[in-house]
Structure 1
């Protein structure tokens, strides 16, 4: 099955969107419903509950009796109302991670209330086009207390289409930023799966979406595979991905291949596949990998493959490197609900 497919339907009894390239699942979004109190992207008016001295953060009271955690406590006082945005998924029993930096996302741009200026995506390399988009954004801002980030999708979009979206996002951003007083309240809900697909999966443009019924069998089968710990790799190698409460543990095995290059080949295959696996499984936090044994010289080659693989992943990922026991550590932002939770609730 060649080409890009944008598929809208249901999985686990919930609305979902999937994006496949040449028949292989690359992106997945599922409506969380009541699975979480507030999904990433939601904007709320909260109230500072308690300052954490020595930790540089505050607990924030949210609607429905929920509690959030904001790392930045600069200039805040207890009882103060403030606007916050959910920027991650909380572990069980922990406060919802929040950010005071609001981002109103669209397909072609992102509005940043109270942070003036126009920035253009580095992916847009043509200097003339960059200048055109920057001028367009500055003209529409017209001195308003808001900023813009022009996304890479704007590079090939018609100017009037980009301008219309910027105008809409600016109106929404300014309305939200001016609504900073009052009781705790949800001001903007997180986007639905179809909205996420339109907004963030730019490569899916022009794909013919299926819009009703369950997701196709090849997508359902791919999702079922993701619920297993085993990941099959080329050459008979495999990896085991096992999330625990503390971290995500990954083990790489070469299988029956005992050739001198087997370990490096298996490790590189896992490195290239790892961002996709973590993204689709909804896994983040601390990740510890027990790669198949390789020489210290080959470790440099493997690290380059990891950096290359995560560069285009989109999530905040920090590669920490090797431990004294020969394990590799990285951390990835928890920006998605674990896939296993959807299956458990189904």
Structure 2
């Protein structure tokens, strides 16, 4: 099927959303029992972790872990926000820098000023957006980021979005004292899809749409570590306890350009594969053997691919053994865990 479809359904009884582009699965979000990123707690400082500069906090859903806790005392109440999912056996990571994020706007307490996304280059639109922001915020000392989703035609929706996030921020910040409590839950898959997948698309909400639109078939393919790359090449994407290993092979192609072609194909598809499989942390690429002179071409392809991916990923570089390493934020749970 041509075009973009946002498909809202349920998977194994859990709320889920899928993004299909020209019949190919580009992204999938599945709810879980873990605290959602974006959730805001009032927590209580419990015990410091010597040598790590962090502290465990008591939260309604169990212990969470906060880094950089200078000046925080045991027993003190503090507002924190979940930043991602915990590694196996570790506490949920949180931050003191709260963000109230919606489709058009992000309210940033403690960071005053109105900023417009750099991707909005139209000067008239930038000025219009700043006018809307100042009208809604008035004398508020909260900061604001206007996202790339903003357009001139959606002035009322943008103003409403800013007002809603401003109101939520004020409500949460005024409730900073007391016992551990959940103050704001992070967005589920359906609301996250509305917030993040903002390009024009057909929205499908009928029950069973995952099956009728090929999402279930695509998920079945993700259960295999093997990913075809075309012209006989393939890669394996395999998570271990320590890291995610990616092994690229040329397969039946033995031409002189086979290795570079396979590695570039892997670079282009890697962000999608990691996103769909919910994989993060340390990622090591064992590439098809290629001359060092071809490394620059590979790096350019890899950098371009991850630039278009919204999950924060650091390209660490080459190892002495010729592997390439990445560090990716654990923004999602592995799909294999969510599906059980």
Which of the five TM-score ranges fits, normalised by the shorter chain? over 0.9
1:131 aligns with 2:131: no
Deviation at 1:114, TM superposition (A): 2.6
Does 1:46 pair with 2:43? yes
CA distances 1:240-295 after superposition (whole Å, capped 9, x unpaired):
01101110001000000000000000000000000011011000000000000011
* Aligned-pair CA distance for 1:127: 1.4
* Structure 2: gaps of 5 or more residues: none
> In 2, Cα distance between the equivalents of 1:50 and 1:342?
31
Q: Does 1:208 align with 2:208?
A: no
* Aligned-pair CA distance for 1:228: 1.1
State TM-score, norm by structure 2. 0.97
- Offset of 1:14 from its aligned partner? 1.5
The Cα shift of 1:206 comes to 4.5
The question of whether the paired residues in 2 share the 8 Å contact of 1:320 and 1:328 is answered with: yes
- Equivalent residues in 2 for 1:143-182, closer than 5 Å: 143-182=139-178
1:141 paired to 2:137: yes
Query: Which of 220, 223, 228 is the aligned partner of 1:232?
Result: 228
**Separation (CA, whole Å) in 1 of partners of 2:203 and 2:182:** 34
Distance in 2 (CA, whole Å) between partners of 1:258 and 1:96 is 47
In 1, Cα distance between equivalents of 2:245 and 2:203: 38
SS in 2 for 1:216: helix
* Alignment match of 1:63 (pick from 60, 65, 87): 60
* CA displacement at 1:74 relative to structure 2: 2.6
Question: Aligned partners of 1:97, 1:245: CA distance in 2, in Å?
Answer: 18
Task: Measure the CA separation in 2 of the matches of 1:39 and 1:17.
Answer: 15
Deviation at 1:156, TM superposition (A): 4.8
- Preserved contact between residue 38 and residue 187 of structure 2 (Cα < 8 Å): yes
2:20: which partner in 1? 20
- Please list the CA deviations of residues 81-132 of structure 1 after superposition, one character each: whole Å capped at 9, or x if unmatched: 1111111110121010111111111111111123211111111011121121
Is 1:7 aligned to 2:4, yes or no? Answer: no
Structure 1 contact 124–155 (Cα < 8 Å) conserved: no
Moved more, 259-268 or 83-92: 83-92
SS at match of 1:195: helix
Per the alignment, in what secondary structure is the counterpart of residue 215 of structure 1?
helix
8 A contact 2:54–2:65 mirrored in 1: yes
With structure 1 as the length reference, what TM-score do the two structures score?
A: 0.95
Q: Is the 8 A contact 1:146 1:174 kept in 2?
A: no
Q: Which moved more, 1:41-50 or 1:7-16?
A: 7-16
Deviations 1:23-77 (A, max 9, x none): 1111111121x2x2x121111111111223432221111114x111111213311
Query: Which residue of 231, 240, 244 maps to 2:240?
Result: 244
Equivalent residue in structure 1 for 2:254, among 254, 258, 262: 258
Q: 2:36·2:188 contact (CA, 8 Å) conserved in 1?
A: no
SS for the counterpart of 1:48 is strand
CA distance, structure 2, for counterparts of residue 60 and residue 214 of structure 1: 41
Which of 264, 267, 279 aligns to 1:268? It is 264
1:178-237 Cα deviation digits (max 9, x unpaired): 11111101111121211011111111x441322323512511111111121011111110
- Alpha carbons of structure 1 residues 156 and 273: separation in structure 2 relative to 1, 3 Å: farther
Partner of 1:102: 98
C-alpha contact (below 8 Å) 2:4/2:22 kept by paired residues? yes
Q: Residue 180 of structure 1: SS of its match in structure 2?
A: coil
Distance 1:29 1:194 in 2: 8
- Residue 291 of structure 2 is aligned to residue 295 of structure 1: yes
